[in-house]
Structure 1
Amino acid sequence: MKNEKGNSDKFDSMPFFALIHHISKNRLRYTMKNPNHIDMVHEGRYLMEIHKKKNLSQDDLAGIFGQSKGTIAKALRKLEDNDYVERIIDENNRRKYMLKTTKKGEKLAVLLIEDLNEWERSVGIDELDDNTKNQLKKIARRSEELLKED
């Protein structure tokens, strides 16, 4: 694809995975410029997911994001220390913690989701058709399955 001046740019020769990485890296950089940000590498993503899905456990979060339980616990500790989430012992399994956003966490999660939606509109992600989105999900699943086969 040619740029505005009709010349090729760095994206023309960039491998697909590098494009995905570039998009992800720029999303994080964009987030860090926003005054509502918290560490979007971990904490912000987790906070938004806890906000969206009720009855989520620490283990569920680890599975969703492909992170270790230790990484999740460390991030949740930060969120808890800043009064964004609560960890509540599951009454059916005393070794399991269920996650809940606090009022402060709800407010921040809504701001972060609005910021994410605005960024997706700005870069055109919201214009992707369902087929493209489903194909990307399929690739993500296959890449995870390859690791499980080892």
Structure 2
Amino acid sequence: MNDENLDKFDSMPFISLIHHISKNKLKYTMENPNRIDMVHEGRYLMEIHKKRDLSQDDLANIFGQSKGTIAKALKKLEDKEYVERKIDENNRRKYILNTTKKGEELAILLENDLENWEKSVGIDRLDEKTKNQLRQIARKSEEILEE
């Protein structure tokens, strides 16, 4: 194959491809009519909706974010009445998170937006073996940082 038939993606390093996909997904979600920060708030809202009764610490662990970053985003979600925090009856220093009715409606819209984007770009057609390999790479990249 000669070079003039290559586009920028043919010569792009693999990690750059992943970054490019992620960056474009964020651009897409910011253009959605729901207008919520998908880097933090939207992802957290969808996770709280999906898993229910998570704590702030759970979110920090799931997303590899600092507790401060999580707290700031949760404050915004609370102020917008998407999430409510309740003190854990078993540990008074811990907050349990759940979506409000308003938050649940938005989380469903965001999940649908994400699903539509994944279908549009073909992520939904990746086989389980490929998805598992990518998960393993993500795990390993995190482990390397922890060493």
Partner amino acid, structure 2, of 1:114: N
Matched residue of 2:33: which SS?
coil
Q: Which amino acid aligns with 2:37?
A: D
- Contact 1:37 1:112 (C-alpha < 8 Å) held by counterparts: no
Q: What code does the residue aligned with 1:120 have?
A: E
Q: SS in structure 1 opposite 2:94? A: strand
Deviations 1:66-120 (A, max 9, x none): 0000000000000000000001110100110110100000000000000000000
Which residue identity lines up with residue 108 of structure 1 in the other structure? L
Equivalent residue, structure 1, for 2:100: 102
CA–CA separation in structure 1 for the residues paired with 2:104 and 2:86: 16
- The answer (yes or no) to whether the contact 1:47–1:105 under 8 Å persists in 2 is yes
Secondary structure of the residue aligned to 2:5 is coil
Deviates more, 1:134-143 or 1:31-40: 31-40
Name 1:15's counterpart in structure 2: 13
* Equivalent residue, structure 1, for 2:62: 64
Secondary structure (helix, strand or coil) at the match of 1:19 reads: helix
What CA distance in whole angstroms lies between the structure 1 residues aligned with 2:115 and 2:35? 14
Count of aligned positions: 146
Find the partner of 2:133 among 122, 132, 135. 135
**Identical pairs, percent:** 77
Tell me if the contact between 1:37 and 1:44 (Cα under 8 Å) persists in the aligned partners: no
Helix, strand or coil at the partner of 1:12: coil
What is the TM-score of this pair, normalised by structure 1?
0.94
Equivalent in the alignment of 1:78:
76
| Offset at residue 146 of structure 1 (A) | 0.7
Q: Alignment partner of 1:11: what SS?
A: coil
Which structure has more relative contact order (CA 8 Å, sep 6+)? It is: 2
What is the letter of the counterpart of residue 89 of structure 2? Answer: E
Residue 50 of structure 1 pairs with residue 48 of structure 2: yes
What RMSD over aligned residues (CA atoms) do the two structures have, in Å?
Answer: 1.4
Which of 29, 32, 55 in structure 1 is aligned with 2:30?
32
Gaps of 5+ in 2: none
Output the TM-score relative to the length of structure 2.
0.96
- Match of 2:86, SS state, is strand
